[in-house]
Amino acid sequence: MRVQYAPGRPHRPRDAMLRLPFIALANLFLLLSSLLGAPFRMLAARHRPAYVRFRLTGDPSYRQQRRPRFSLGGGSKPEPSDVTSLERFGEDLRLLAKDARVKGIVLEVEELGLPSAKREALVALLAEFRAAGKRVVAWAVMVDSDSYALMCAADEVLLAPMGRLELVGYAAEATALGEGLSRVGIRGQFVRRGDYKTAPELFTHPEVSDIQRRTVETFLDERYSVLVEAVAAGRKKTAEEVKGLIDVGPFSAQRAKAAGLVDALVSEADLPVHLGLVAAPPAADSKAPAAEEDETELEPLEMYLETVPFPPVKWKRLKRRTRLALVPVSGMIVPGKGNAGGRLATADAVVKGLRAAGRDKRSKAVLLYVNSPGGAAIASEQILEAVQRVAKKKPVLAYMDQVCASAGYMVALGAKEVWSAPHAVVGSIGVFAGKFDTSGLLKLLGIHRTVLTRGANAALLSFSRAFSEGERAALEADVEEMYQSFLGHVAKARGRTKEEIHALAEGRVYSGLRAKDVGLVDRIGGFEEACRHALSLANVTPGDFELKTYGAAERKMSLLRLLMGAAHPQTYAVCPMSWNLGGQEREVLASLADETRWGEWLRQWGRETRD
């Protein structure tokens, strides 16, 4: 049955009337503040900067996050020039683009860790700014391949004289621990459904399998081609020239300049001189008298606003903005309560977030943001059921920009539409289960254990011995049942037969683009585009809207709880692929890097794991 979504109910007049006095008072205060400050800003107008400085570092959020007024040691405060969100950065660029006295911006790039989707969104914002006739000057001290690809979207690329350009492409390290574990008396015993479900190979194989190798190389090829295309377009070179330069990297600042990968070598102190904002100092052998030292610096946006007589004012609205609910599923999906700072997505926290989003009458639609390598079967089914319940009330759109694999993909199936960024990791439809047989290690240590049971399979998950034939047969039947259930969920959600999904499943992993081609996702797009489309599904005009997060990860993590969880060895929540791509892939597989930590291997969250 097709669910029809009614247009959003308008705000009740009574509520608007009750808010009117407070809105009027707040706006009057804003007006008076703006008028009183105008004379001072007019006096400062002659010092308005021609270039405004922005610092791009870390992983800014898509939308501006409200910071608490009071914090007890809750992280460092961003610098005035820091880009804190793509939303705010876009607003700032559009404001500057309208000012004829502003020539452009200086974008300082430092230690970025952006998903490819955010990088593409930033490139689009810079292209829009440049189309308005403004210049973008990118400057850095040291950048890797990903950061450099972003810098290539600027009009001019500058590097500090002591800097380095780590343009070397991408590398992947696939791991196989089977032989190493056997040397200390540990054997990984796992049952999997699908040759492409390579996660257990990390513990069972002595070498990386050909299937795993081909999977990794497919992602490497795709990411490498994106890098080559970005550098070729930005530096006006052919693809072959770029590939040749990558093969002789990394580069010192001098070599990068000689190769045409950067336009000039400029220290931070000399940026104003390079941009023509101050006169160059006389040469050391010049007889001209030395001018008084000029301490001119590039100013952030807040200093620019102090020179604008009437800067934009965010007036309080009588009519509230349309609200879109955001429910994140970030990290390993596990049963239980609470959340661990994005490392774990507990079923209780996500389900409560979904329920709250469903109850919120102001939220006309829900965006389910999935960034998970997988997790426990029972937890993913709980979340899927909650998504389906909310989807009966209002449209739900699932969006992924990093990794949405196995149980992560399972929870996305309850949405009306599934969207992906072009290079997200998607799929890994399959199931595995197993344990570690530590009997060899116990023998080496002189530890003797006797397993006493009542019931043929009571000691199925005991570490003290290997599976019996009956136990393995029971586990294989259980895994097969779980796999068929997984296929059924996907087939129903995607409008396909189980046979068709099986041909795409068995643990196969796709990029977002390839997932779209085979029908596992509906559309390829960015975060903002997905948000607006979610609202359009509710027949709401997606103009200026606000985003409210439900079920977000808690800031604090219980170390004791994690250690206690690590003491139970019945489920192995590890990555869908036992590999980690360097460079650009650190944002896609950040949560997968824990595959070499014993605590993650030995976590008990149920017996079967879709991951």
In tens, the pLDDT along 136-150 reads: 999 999 999 999 999
Rounding to the nearest 10 degrees, give the CA dihedral for residues 179, 611, 345, 603. -40
What pLDDT band is residue 584 in, cutting at 50, 70 and 90? Answer: very low
Alpha-carbon distance of 218 to 95, in angstroms, equals 42
Which pTM does this prediction carry?
0.81
Q: What is the pLDDT of residue 557?
A: 42
Q: Cα angle vertex 508, ends 506, 512, to 5°?
A: 140
Q: What is the pLDDT of residue 186?
A: 87
Does the pLDDT value for residue 601 go beyond 50?
A: no
Q: What is the pLDDT of residue 546?
A: 87
Q: What is the pLDDT of residue 274?
A: 92
What pLDDT band is residue 565 in, cutting at 50, 70 and 90? Answer: very low
What does the H/E/C string look like for 91-133? HHHHHHHCCCCCCEEEEEEEEECCCHHHHHHHHHHHHHHHHCC
Please state the φ and ψ torsions of residue 527, each to the nearest 5 degrees.
-65, -50
Q: What is the pLDDT of residue 432?
A: 85
Nearest to 395 by CA among 421, 377, 415: 415
Q: Which residues contact 226 (CB under 8 A, 6 or more apart)?
A: 116, 149, 423
Q: What is the pLDDT of residue 71?
A: 43
For range 351-375, the mean pLDDT: 93
Does the pLDDT value for residue 239 go beyond 90?
A: yes
CATH number at 48-67+77-168+249-305? 3.90.226.10
Query: What string of DSSP letters covers 436-477?
Result: EE-HHHHHHHT-------SSTTTTTT-TTSPPPHHHHHHHHH
SS3 430: coil
For range 304-326, the mean pLDDT: 72
The token pair that represents 85 in the structure block: 């969100």
**139 beta partners:** 108, 158
Query: What string of DSSP letters covers 385-407?
Result: HHHHHHHTTS-EEEEESSEEETH
Nearest to 540 by CA among 5, 3, 8, 2: 8
Residues classed as catalytic: 197, 406
Q: What's the chain's average pLDDT?
A: 80
CATH number at 191-216+319-610? 3.90.226.10
Rounding to the nearest 10 degrees, give the CA dihedral for residues 25, 30, 31, 34. 160
The helix (H) or strand (E) run that includes residue 379 is: helix 377-391
Q: Which segments of 451-544 does DSSP mark as H helices, in order?
A: 469-494, 498-504, 512-518, 527-537
Sheet holding 609-610, edge to edge: 187-193, 431-437, 609-610, 375-376, 332-334, 344-346
Nearest to 408 by CA among 433, 435, 380, 430: 380
Position 521, amino acid: V
Q: What is the pLDDT of residue 321?
A: 77
In tens, the pLDDT along 501-532 reads: 999 998 899 999 999 999 999 999 999 999 99
Alpha-carbon distance of 181 to 159, in angstroms, equals 46
Domain with CATH 3.90.226.10 in the chain: 48-67+77-168+249-305, 191-216+319-610
Least confident of 119-123, 256-260, 346-350, 555-559: 555-559
Alpha-carbon distance of 216 to 171, in angstroms, equals 10
**109 beta partners:** 56, 140
What pLDDT band is residue 73 in, cutting at 50, 70 and 90? Answer: very low
Please say whether the dihedral angle defined by the alpha carbons of residues 127, 128, 132 and 138, taken in this order, is positive or negative: negative
